[in-house]
Amino acid sequence: MKSKKKEGFITRTLINAVAIYITAGFVKGVNISGFGAAIVASVVLGLVNAVIRPILILLSLPINIITLGLFTFIINGVSLLFVSTATSGFYISSLSSAVIASFIISIISSIISFLI
């Protein structure tokens, strides 16, 4: 059972790393030094999404309700911006670039997950 969880984690990490790497080529203000940095960023993003993001969503619940969930895009951007500051080789220049990148990363990850 642990082996399947481990495989799932590795698969999700690699999918997100590919998505981050591809996104860096499309979004102005998002730079990555190589695929190794994308893997590190993917692992850190997974940790941020597991620990920090739920707290941000809870704290922003009123504004998230008012905006019908659209504020979640800002939270995702902030999470990605945090990852860029905590990760060497991965740089995002602004919150707007981070929000756009997080949206594109989600789309690419979903497509790759669907295909495999």
Sequence-ordered list of residues with C-beta below 8 angstroms from that of 71, at least 6 positions apart, any chain: 60, 63, 64
The pLDDT of residue 9 is 83
Q: Report if residue 34 sits inside a domain.
A: yes
**Taking Cα atoms as reference points, which of 34, 31, 35, 39 lies closest to residue 13?**
39
Confidence check: pLDDT of 116 > 90:
no
| Residue, of 111 and 9, whose pLDDT is higher | 111
Question: Has residue 103 been placed in a domain?
Answer: yes
Residue 89 has pLDDT above 90, yes or no: yes
Distance from chain centroid for Cα 71: 16
- Residue 54: the pLDDT is 87
| Residue 18 placed within a domain | yes
Please report whether residue 114 resides in a domain: no
Q: Is residue 116 part of a domain?
A: no
6-10, 99-103, 112-116 — which one is most confidently predicted on average? 99-103
Q: Is residue 48 part of a domain?
A: yes
Q: Coil, strand, or helix at residue 4?
A: helix
State yes or no: pLDDT of 5 exceeds 80: no
Closest CA to 83 of 63, 65, 109, 105: 105
Domain that holds residue 51: 2-109
Pick the closest to residue 46 from 12, 86, 7, 81 (CA basis). Answer: 12
Instruction: State mean pLDDT over 59-65.
Output: 92
6 vs 55, higher pLDDT? 55
Q: Which residues make Cβ contacts (< 8 Å) with residue 3, sequence separation at least 6?
A: none
Mean pLDDT of the chain: 91
Whether 115 is in a domain gets the answer no
Q: Per the structure, how many domains does the chain have?
A: 1
Question: How far is the C-alpha of 83 from the C-alpha of 40, rounded, in Å?
Answer: 10
Residue 19 domain-assigned (yes or no): yes
pLDDT band, residue 2 (cuts 50/70/90): low
Decide if pLDDT at 85 tops 60.
yes
Residue 76: predicted pLDDT: 92
Distance CA 89, CA 108 (A): 21
